[in-house]
Amino acid sequence: MKKVILGLSALCMVAFTSCKENAASKIKSENVAVAADRDAKSGNFPVLELDKVEHDFGTIMNGTPVETIFKYKNAGNSMLVVSNIKSTCGCTVPSNYTKEVKPGEEGQFTVKFNGKGNGKVSKSLTMTTNTETGSQIVKISAMVQADPNAPQKAPGKATVNPLSTSTVKTSTQPGHEGHNHN
């Protein structure tokens, strides 16, 4: 029994003392740079090929929702990972995107635009990927016109409260024209 306890004690001592050094300290930074350069030259990045980078919905009536599908292909040699697709505005929503695409295969995502605005409206969406560039921007646009059948507001009297301190803020961000951001 003493031999078993002595053997276990020796094993525990070896296990606890061998992990004393930090493994990260053993990595040489020049080796990391060489490996990154090697990987970049090997061409093993996935390559994102889109069927289109812009979609124009044409002329639509204000408030008419529209949608389109962007299709993409992995033309590279390793798995394409689309980790996120983000829009510049809440009026444009990307959804149902293929997160992983094997080499030679295809994926897609849907973009829904609520159709609100005035005049030429353009929105950008950014795909975050594991490609060499790391991201891809796609755009949608539409010419939004007022609905001629919409009820017209009767002209009324405007009153201004001189004691009021509230002001209406309008966005200065490109693509946010016509949106009030209070």
pLDDT tens-place string over residues 108-165:
999 999 999 999 999 999 999 999 999 999 999 999 998 777 776 666 666 666 666 6
State the pLDDT at residue 13: 63
Residue 177 clears pLDDT 90, i.e. is over it = no
State the pLDDT at residue 44: 84
Mean pLDDT for the stretch of residues 72-91 = 93
When the pLDDT of each residue in the chain is averaged and rounded to a whole number, the result is 79
- 100-101 vs 80-87, strand pairing mode: antiparallel
Lowest mean pLDDT segment, chosen from 4-13, 101-110, 124-133: 4-13
* pTM for the structure as a whole: 0.61
pLDDT band at residue 182 using 50, 70 and 90 as cut-offs: very low
Percent of the chain at pLDDT exceeding 90? 52
State the pLDDT at residue 2: 73
